[in-house]
Amino acid sequence: MSTTLVLGGARSGKSRFAEGLARGECHYLATSQAFDDEMRARIATHRQDRGALWVTHEEPLALTGTLADIDAPGRFVLVDCLTLWLSNVLLAGQDWQAATDDLAAMLPRLQASVVLVSNEVGMGLVPETPLGRAFRDAQGILNQRMAAIANNVFFVAAGLPLALKGRLPE
């Protein structure tokens, strides 16, 4: 159907905006992992805030496999977020470029409407560590790849969306 990319900084309102795009049977593909109590609490809050409208799938690594499993006409799939997924891929020692290629090849073939949420990490300070710089660069490349194939790209700052590609919903 269509692919939408929603970009923004941390706590910019991008997830709330993306959830507002939901139509039809709603599936939430969460990529975070709960490594500590703070993250467990954050995940619990997100689950509660989403409510019963959403079918939740938690998958930190196998993004394309999970998308294939839940793909169907009339479905809305929200992937939140690509930033955590990329971090998981890198920390697992997997080939992030191959994973990005797989995702880019798959998205146009899906029957569901897919909204991808991702952080824009290249607008701040240069990370001081090689791993931090590698992550920033990989995230920028991933975002560019997704934006190139997306039908719509929105940037959210301070809760306000800006259309970079396509049109904001009425």
For residue 98, give every residue at least 6 positions away whose Cβ sits within 8 Å of its Cβ, in sequence order, or none. Answer: none
- Look up residue 22 and give its two tokens: 């939901």
CB 107 within 8 A of CB 79: no
C-alpha–C-alpha distance, residues 146 and 132, integer Å = 21
For residue 122, give every residue at least 6 positions away whose Cβ sits within 8 Å of its Cβ, in sequence order, or none. Answer: 136, 139, 140
Residue 46 is a catalytic residue: yes
- How far is C-alpha 132 from the geometric centre of its chain's CA atoms? 19
C-alpha–C-alpha distance, residues 5 and 10, integer Å = 15
Q: How far is CA 89 from CA 39, 66, 83, in A?
A: 18, 15, 10
Active-site residue (options: 2, 13, 26, 46): 46
Residue type at 23 in one-letter notation:
R
Task: Give catalytic residues, as residue numbers.
Answer: 46
